[in-house]
Amino acid sequence: MATPVFECLRQSYPKAIITACVRPYAKGILQDSPWFDHIIDCDDKSLEGITNLRRQLQQIKPQTGILLTNTTHSWLTFKIAGIPRIYGYKRNLRKYFLSGGPQPEMENGKVRPLPMQEYYLNICRYLGLGIPEKPRPSLYFSSHVAAQSEELLKTYGITASDKVVGLNPGASFGASKCWPAEYFAKLADTLQSELNCKLLLLVGPGEEKIAAAITSESKARIINTASDKIDLALLKPIIKRCNLLITNDTGPRHYAVAFNIPNIVLMGPTNPIYTATNSESSLILQRDLPCVPCHKKTCPLGHHACMREITPDMVSAQVRRILQET
């Protein structure tokens, strides 16, 4: 959702040296993109990590820093790294120290929810940069990564003529975003019995138990990718190969949006406003409940109704409709 900002910066400053500071686990998302001269690890949760980041940035000598995060901690990290001008949203304690930035829009004493793409782009607007008329997320991968993907899909027995449905059952945010494993299992049984498709179970780090629960409860021939340890760089062409992605409200859904892959998002405790851009290829399934959205990592009421009331039959009906239309 931040990629339109990166594109805006590169178009506005074609000769600048632009460096991305990202968490080590997320570097694969930006890998092979045309926006950055450097992508460096931002591991600033320890003194050693901050020291290493400062050392790397001092070699590049950036004149300006732009924060897409909202924390005072992130401002302090850039300040310690010696960046003279730092821009970002004027929030928390850091609002007194930033070189400039937009004020967040307020509503009833709280920051008003905005689509994150627009929220990020407001920083570019503050800086007076030209914004594309219809900004869209975009992702890139190299021919080497594409070849890796083709080899892996070949080992799965997936051919060019196969109809592939991706299943993404995890969520790094927490259990509250996860559709029940038994629901994924029942959905897999229905899809394979009714549709001539291959089912590709996409598994991230720490999601092996969820994948095992799905495959053990399902009678379908599910391709479980857990043992292949697919990273975020290789995941890009894998999702691009899918004809449809069925996913919790988590990172891979945004891959599908970037590659214009039809996707069904099983949304529970989060506010859909935050992702309400470029939704032409997305179908959001969310129950209208008094407790939604709560934005809690686990259900505070214990019943997890926001996800459990999205039934496998509801999802399979939408799968049939989407695949017929596309």
Give the chain's domains with CATH numbers: 3-126 (3.40.50.2000), 145-325 (3.40.50.2000)
Task: Answer whether 316's CB lies under 8 Å from 189's CB.
Answer: no
Q: Is the pLDDT of residue 45 over 90?
A: no
Confidence of residue 326 (pLDDT cuts 50, 70, 90): confident
143-154: average pLDDT: 98
Tokens 């400062």 locate to 54
- Interval 48-97: pLDDT, tens: 999 999 999 999 999 999 999 999 999 999 999 999 999 999 999 999 99
Confidence of residue 325 (pLDDT cuts 50, 70, 90): confident
Q: Which of 250, 139, 244, 241 lies closest to 203, judged by CA? A: 250
Confidence of residue 14 (pLDDT cuts 50, 70, 90): very high
Q: Is the pLDDT of residue 173 over 90?
A: no
251-256: average pLDDT: 96
Q: pLDDT value at position 133?
A: 85
- Interval 111-126: pLDDT, tens: 999 999 999 999 999 9
Q: pLDDT value at position 215?
A: 97
What's the 3-state SS for 252-278? HHHHHHHCCCCEEEECCCCCHHHHCCC
Q: pLDDT value at position 309?
A: 97
Q: pLDDT value at position 181?
A: 97
CA dist 15 and 9 (Å) reads 11
Please provide the DSSP assignment of 42-108 as one string. ---SSHHHHHHHHHHHHHH--SEEE--S--HHHHHHHHHTT-SEEE----TGGGGT-SB-PPPPEET
Q: pLDDT value at position 233?
A: 97
Mean pLDDT score across all residues of the chain: 95
Provide the pairing of β-strand 110-111 with 106-107: antiparallel
Q: Is the pLDDT of residue 262 over 90?
A: yes
Confidence of residue 132 (pLDDT cuts 50, 70, 90): confident
The pTM assigned to this predicted structure is 0.94
What are the strands, taking DSSP E only, across the chain?
Answer: 19-22, 38-41, 64-66, 85-87, 106-107, 110-111, 164-168, 198-201, 222-224, 244-248, 263-266, 282-285
Q: pLDDT value at position 196?
A: 85
Q: Which of 88, 141, 131 lies closest to 259, judged by CA? A: 141
Confidence of residue 136 (pLDDT cuts 50, 70, 90): very high
Q: Which of 29, 77, 313, 324 lies closest to 183, judged by CA? A: 313
Q: pLDDT value at position 171?
A: 84
Task: Answer whether 76's CB lies under 8 Å from 111's CB.
Answer: no
Quote the percentage of the chain above a pLDDT of 90: 93
44-51: average pLDDT: 90
39-51: average pLDDT: 91
Task: Answer whether 299's CB lies under 8 Å from 270's CB.
Answer: no
Confidence of residue 174 (pLDDT cuts 50, 70, 90): confident
Instruction: Name the burial class of residue 201, with classes exposed (0-12), middle (13-18) and buried (19+) by CB atoms within 10 angstroms of its CB.
Output: buried
